[in-house]
Amino acid sequence: MNNKHLLKLADLSAEEITEILDLADKLKYERKNGVEHKLLKDKTLGMIFSKSSTRTRVSFETGMYQLGGTALFLSSNDIQLGRGEPVADTARVLSRYLDGIMIRTFAQSDAEDLAKYGSIPVINGLTDYAHPCQVLADLMTIREYKKTLGGLKLAFIGDGNNMANSLIVGCIKLGMTVAIACPEEYKPDADIIAWGGETGKLTITTSPEEAAKDADVLYTDVWASMGQEREKAEREKAFAGYQINDALMAHTKPDAIVLHCLPAHREEEISTAVFENHADEIFEEAENRLHAQKAVLVLLMGA
């Protein structure tokens, strides 16, 4: 992989994404067969969190351990960053102790600045703009279930948020088409829509049925993301009708899979019945966070 960081999938070529997915598959398969991969012996990953996390925190921490290294949980409330120490200074200090940084925060520019001012690899563990690690696990999961990616259709139903942004870029780069169904005021970011539009592989509609038509993969995410808690009531109104349920599933291909980055809000963006019918896929997807991120860590921080 030529890239020094994983800040957003737009920075990676299709070949680089495929390299990550191939290594992730290999690490997953070999580990299940008892092979150890101490590829990051003595290396330390710092993990800065300005937002909550279950999957990202635990999968990165476990991943570093399995690779022979260690991970430090750095809540932004507990480090000086949370008291106003500039990102540029934090980056230069942490670069002298650590071998890599994962950051979960609000502004994409903070992740980019960490990379700009530091001298070690930076991994975006979610910003308001992008969630590249999640989409690597998603692509890995789709490939596991469908054996291929090229030509498949993914329909995303709900908020045009960080997940929608990253799915558009990751899926289209690997040859899929993407349909987003969202209310007019909740579209993905303008630069992503423009990029997707140029590829001819992105459709944006307000109709969940139109988006879901003949889809191979149906995807959704919460209506109110972290940081948007105060908009919850207004969003519940705007997104009524944007639920993945049995009625919507009738429009997809019969063998469609359903993915959700989690955490899920049952009976909001997804019905309990669809969630439970597709729980195997959704929890395989969650597991794949571990394998996909181990591949990223090895490629960015390995010898």
Q: Which of 261, 278, 291, 293 is catalytic?
A: 261
Residue 221 binds ligand NVA (CB under 6 A) = yes
> Which phi and psi angles does 123 have, rounded to 5°?
-115, 130
Q: Using the rule CB under 6 A, which residue among 3, 54, 75, 119 binds ligand CP?
A: 54
- Nearest distance in Å: CB 70, ligand CP: 19
Q: How far is CA 142 from CA 46, 137, 145, 150, 220, in A?
A: 30, 9, 5, 11, 14
Q: How far is CA 20 from CA 13, 27, 48, 85, in A?
A: 11, 10, 23, 34
Q: Which of 5, 55, 131, 235 is catalytic?
A: 131
The verdict on whether 230 is a catalytic residue reads no
In the complex, residue closest to ligand CP by CB: 56
Instruction: Tell me the number of residues near ligand CP by CB under 6 A.
Output: 8
Which partner, ligand CP, ligand NVA, none, binds residue 72 by CB below 5 to 8 Å per kind?
A: none
Collect all residues with Cβ–Cβ distance below 8 Å to 281 and sequence separation of at least 6: 141, 145, 257, 258, 259
Which partner, ligand NVA, ligand CP, none, binds residue 127 by CB below 5 to 8 Å per kind?
A: none
Q: Using the rule CB under 6 A, which residue among 79, 226, 238, 264 binds ligand NVA?
A: 226
Site for ligand CP in 249-278 (CB under 6 A): 261-262
Which partner, ligand CP, ligand NVA, none, binds residue 162 by CB below 5 to 8 Å per kind?
A: ligand NVA
Q: Which range touches ligand NVA (CB under 6 A), out of 15-23, 159-167, 191-199, 207-215?
A: 159-167
Q: Using the rule CB under 6 A, which residue among 105, 162, 165, 288 binds ligand NVA?
A: 162
How far apart, in whole angstroms, are the C-alpha atoms of residue 168 and residue 178?
Answer: 6
Neighbours of 199 (CB within 10 A): 13
Q: Using the rule CB under 6 A, which residue among 108, 124, 134, 220 binds ligand CP?
A: 134
How far apart, in whole angstroms, are the C-alpha atoms of residue 43 and residue 120?
Answer: 12
207 close to 181: Cβ distance less than 8 angstroms = yes
Residue 53 binds ligand CP (CB under 6 A) = yes
Q: Which of 5, 104, 235, 260 is catalytic?
A: 104
The verdict on whether 228 is a catalytic residue reads no
Q: Which two tokens stand for residue 197?
A: 């539009």
127 close to 105: Cβ distance less than 8 angstroms = yes
Q: Using the rule CB under 6 A, which residue among 90, 105, 108, 161 binds ligand NVA?
A: 161
Residue 124 binds ligand CP (CB under 6 A) = no
Q: Using the rule CB under 6 A, which residue among 141, 225, 243, 252 binds ligand NVA?
A: 225
Q: Using the rule CB under 6 A, which residue among 27, 126, 171, 295 binds ligand CP?
A: 126
Closer CB to ligand NVA, 166 or 252, in the complex: 166
The verdict on whether 104 is a catalytic residue reads yes
Collect all residues with Cβ–Cβ distance below 8 Å to 3 and sequence separation of at least 6: 11, 12, 16, 300
Q: Which range touches ligand NVA (CB under 6 A), out of 59-67, 86-94, 113-121, 161-169?
A: 161-169
74 close to 47: Cβ distance less than 8 angstroms = yes
Binding interface with ligand CP (CB under 6 A): 53-56, 126, 134, 261-262
The catalytic residues are: 104, 131, 134, 221, 261, 289
